[in-house]
Amino acid sequence: MVNRLDIVFVHTLSEDESNCTVAPCDEGFFTCHSGECVPDKVTCDHVLDCEDGSDENPECNYKDCTGAQFTCGNKKCIPKHWVCDKEDDCPDSSDEIPSLCDINECVDVAGTCSQGCVNTIGSYHCKCNPEYAKREDGRSCKKRDST
Which residue ranges make up the site for Ca ion (CB under 5 A)? Answer: 42, 45, 47, 49, 55, 82, 85, 87, 89, 95
Question: CB of residue 20 vs Ca ion: minimum separation in angstroms?
Answer: 20
Question: CB of residue 110 vs Ca ion: minimum separation in angstroms?
Answer: 25
- Residue pair 95/73 in contact (Cβ under 8 Å)? The answer is no
CB nearer to Ca ion: pick between 75 and 139: 75
SS3 state at 69: strand
Nearest C-alpha neighbor of 54 from the set 78, 88, 27, 25:
25
Phi and psi torsions of 19, nearest 5°: 60, 20
Question: CB of residue 136 vs Ca ion: minimum separation in angstroms?
Answer: 37
- Residue pair 115/141 in contact (Cβ under 8 Å)? The answer is yes
CB nearer to Ca ion: pick between 55 and 105: 55
CB nearer to Ca ion: pick between 72 and 126: 72
